[in-house]
Structure 1
């Protein structure tokens, strides 16, 4: 089983984005020292929910600051990027890091990003499959050309060429089918529990997808007692989520989705490995058994302070990771 850290670069009330980004890099270094397999960074635009606007640029910095740990994007928003340009950047990081980089991509949402970056609502509504196909071609061939609705260009050489398989964030049945059709692993979010994740894996395989190394995100918080861990997140996370989720501004006149923050935090703390070490280990093992997913990435920033994030990473590495059955078997083998 692979265990990673999931960084959103979340800005809690009063925190400066530049400082948050610097502290996120410190978290990457702490994750490597703590024994995690990889670290993944989210990408958001124009909001405090996450203040990293380029997951690829952050990944480059993280790879340069580390020597062993894998680094992935969770995710680079494909609806606002040219897929060939993204493939070039991914290929460069792949070669410069000795293969430690993983590109995760997603469709994104109908947000104002589409207006600002000029790709427009059609790229979100019907262009994701074409974008994904161009990206996959650029990451698997030495030369690429395109003749489609959104991308049409003469054949060019991919320099440098690379052979990489992207991971796809799947939050809908349509995207799950797209990933299955192309044999691409899924990235499943922390907003769904084990039952929904297991259903997505079943739908993927029913659509003809191969057995793949899917990735699942979850909140991870360890403390001396489960009550203490839950209380920490229940107190802190609304200060991030309330203003952060308000940053999702639709590109058109549709209503912005709303969420009951209290109920959402209760769901996160009740579903994911939030508790003492015994509880965290049992929850991770339960998720693995229920979903068949062997790669979990933990969102560790929920306490809202850099010092507490670093402590959380270190404690997870010392008290939880060595006790997971699959990792014990790997170590003994």
Structure 2
């Protein structure tokens, strides 16, 4: 049985089209986090990238620290910190400091990295990243939530009698989540170490969404093999979501931005094939929505799309809206407002007792004398 209630958050890769002043862009990203905090979203994730123009945040920990001072309750996460680019001791040290600065609101999201220009600039081979991620993750988990000193030597880092001076803010430890795109690697590592997971449900344009139900099975199988446990409540899935008053309005709002993202970034900048066989470019957005690679529509459409996703994967704990600049800022704000006010209650249960109250009265009206106007 999957978790009864679903939480909502946002995942900022970031993916900002070229042209906007980056200083003002960072300011708006922080305002975005403040907005979601006020609207009651549970989490906000901030990515790490160093090249290709659209991905402007290279040090997500700094934005987490800035956002922590502007927000009250929303959990803040690196989405994700690329472990092969950092010494594991420094990753662990920064994470625990953020855990204290946020009073336990920090989640350390980690991954192997996937942008080839980032790897090249740092002297990493793409073929090495998964093995480096595995080596670093084991050390990071031990340094943050373990008690013993860590000694380990690999081809790219050394730890000798290493132990952090600070323990995590909570006795239960600091939550660590491994990111998974399509391969079973990260899911198996999550199961091995009993940590959380975040799965990217938004595939590259023109490609099918990965089988996330099978991905979760990899985590469960690894957990059983290594004597640990994994919990669906700690499984996040990212997916583009956009809500408007009608399906037609929603598609009209994001069509230009989707085309810019799919054909401008993935097609032109990355040089990848994003065409869908038999589908015209003008209908690519509808094809993505029909395939479940994005959820775009009215409140009712979005509720139905999320329900389908839950049924498909067998349940998960948090839906992270994969934040894209597909619509202008005012319409984007409206989408997140509609999602929080009218979509989320179907999954959080926040309005359940209100409906029960109305229904009870309707079922028992004969108990009350009708007032004569």
TM-score for both structures, normalised by structure 1: 0.87
Alpha-carbon deviation of 1:219?
A: 0.9
Q: 1:135 aligns with which of 136, 140, 149?
A: 140
**Separation in 1 of the partners of 2:79 and 2:268?**
18
Kindly indicate whether the alpha-carbon contact (under 8 Å) linking 1:49 and 1:243 is maintained by their aligned counterparts in 2: no
What is the CA–CA distance in structure 2 between the aligned matches of 1:6 and 1:177, rounded to whole Å? Answer: 22
| 69-78 vs 11-20, which moves further | 11-20
Alpha-carbon distance in structure 1 between the residues aligned to 2:144 and 2:221:
26
Greater shift, 219-228 or 208-217, is seen at: 208-217
Match of 1:164 in 2: 174
Contact 1:217 1:298 in 2 (8 A): yes
Matches within 5 A, 1:113-152: 113-121=118-126, 123-142=128-147, 143-152=149-158
TM-score, with structure 2 as normaliser: 0.79
Correspondence for 1:253: none
Query: What RMSD in Å do the two structures reach over aligned CA positions?
Result: 2.8
What is the aligned length? 327
Q: Does 1:290 align with 2:312?
A: yes
Bigger radius of gyration: 2
Question: C-alpha offsets along residues 182-209 of structure 1, whole Å, 9 cap, x if unaligned?
Answer: 2222211132577711121122223335
The Cα shift of 1:277 comes to 0.6
Alpha-carbon shift at residue 265 of structure 1 (Å) = 4.2
For 2:177 and 2:189, the matched residues in 1 are separated by 12
CA contact (8 A) 1:49 1:247 kept: no
Structure 2 distance, partners of 1:146, 1:186, is: 25
Distance of aligned partners of 1:330 and 1:39 in 2 relative to their CA distance in 1, 3 Å threshold: farther
Q: CA deviation at 1:329?
A: 5.7
After TM superposition, give the deviation of residue 110 of structure 1 in Å: 5.9
Report the CA distance between 1:165 and its aligned residue: 3.1
Q: What are the Cα deviations for residues 218-268 of structure 1, in whole angstroms up to 9, with x where unaligned?
A: 11100111122123222212223444336977xxxxxx6543385874454
Structure 2's unaligned 5+ residue stretches are: 1-5, 356-373
Q: Find out whether 1:229 has 2:247 as its counterpart.
A: no
The answer to whether residue 229 in structure 2 is matched with residue 200 in structure 1 is no
Whether the 8 Å contact between 1:136 and 1:165 is mirrored in structure 2 is no
Matches within 5 A, 1:63-212: 63-109=68-114, 111-121=116-126, 123-142=128-147, 143-162=149-168, 163-171=173-181, 172-192=183-203, 196-208=211-223, 210-212=229-231
Please say which of residues 91-100 and 167-176 is displaced more in the overlay: 167-176
